[in-house]
């Protein structure tokens, strides 16, 4: 039964990802929480940060990619996310 459930979850993720286009995978709960925490922290130190801006989308992609590649904890991902946003300010 557990194998069936695992396959079903995988299939659901693939279908949703395909419906989103460009092969995007769903963010895990951990990476989603890390991105939210990083954005909240960044918004506190940068009043120009607004939820709909391009930096927010870039942060989401960055955290998702780092989570998938490195398997980092939510805390580390959040710190890396803020550092990423600060680098965007400079460059």
The pLDDT, as a whole number, for residue 22 is 41
Q: Which residues of the chain have pLDDT under 70?
A: 1-27, 91
Q: Which residues of 43-65 are buried (b: 16+ CB within 10 A; e: fewer)?
A: beeeeebeeeeebbeebbebbbe
d(CA 87, CA 91): 6
Task: Write out pLDDT tens, residues 19-30.
Answer: 444 434 446 788
The pLDDT, as a whole number, for residue 81 is 95
Q: Is-contact 52 60, C-beta < 8 A?
A: no
């Amino acid at each position: 039964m557990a194998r069936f459930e695992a396959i079903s979850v995988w299939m659901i993720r693939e279908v949703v990802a395909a419906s989103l286009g460009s092969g995007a995978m769903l963010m895990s709960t951990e990476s989603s929480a890390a991105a939210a925490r990083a954005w909240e922290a960044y918004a506190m130190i940068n009043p120009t940060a607004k939820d709909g801006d391009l930096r927010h989308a870039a942060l989401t992609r960055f955290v998702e990619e780092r989570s998938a590649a490195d398997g980092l904890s939510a805390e580390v991902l959040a710190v890396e996310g803020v550092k990423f946003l600060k680098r965007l300010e400079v460059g």
